[in-house]
Amino acid sequence: MPETFCGIDVGKTGAMAFVHSSKQPPSVFPFAKHSIYNLARVLTNFKPTIICLENPPGYMPGNGKKSIKGLFMNYGTWVGMLETLGLEYINVSPQKWQNKLNCRTGGDKRITHRFAQELFPQMTITHAIADSLLIAHYARLVYA
């Protein structure tokens, strides 16, 4: 039976992505285009085998208190939703998935954008969806 792997980038402009063990193309849901209610419905419809939720990285130079607060609020919203839906998830730090995929950004989002485009050439990759796709790809590599 084909497996589905979900990656969630909790950033304000993040997304939720699904990649599959079959040849089925990935599915991506940018937060800017979907309500949290719709994203919850998508999760229950896809029934992912593994959900990897990106942990907020904490303080990073150049990020203000407001952006850190927003990141942790988004993370908390996702934890609450997943717990309410009874879905198990795995927390993964940016460093962990980026190290596994050999695409450490050092804050340069162009690196993950470029790598996601190479992995998924059939898709138009934006900064908003690149990390979620790579987190889902990480889940497939590690947990398949």
Write out pLDDT tens, residues 107-117.
788 999 999 99
- Residue among 120, 101, 110 at smallest CA distance from 24: 120
Domain that holds residue 109: 4-143
Residue 51 backbone zone (phi > 0: left; psi -120 to 50: alpha; other: beta): beta
Q: How many domains does the chain have?
A: 1
Write out pLDDT tens, residues 61-107.
455 555 566 677 889 999 999 999 999 999 999 999 999 999 998 87
Write out pLDDT tens, residues 29-73.
999 999 999 999 999 999 999 999 999 865 454 555 555 666 778
Planar angle of CA 40, 42, 45, nearest 5 degrees: 110
**Which strand (E) or helix (H) includes residue 105?**
none
Cross-strand pairs, 6: 18, 51
> Domain with 102 in it: what CATH number?
3.30.420.10
> Residue 127's CB: how many other CB atoms inside 10 A?
15
Cross-strand pairs, 92: 54
Tokens of 133: 């796709």
- Specify the DSSP class assigned to residue 16: E
**pTM, full prediction:** 0.91
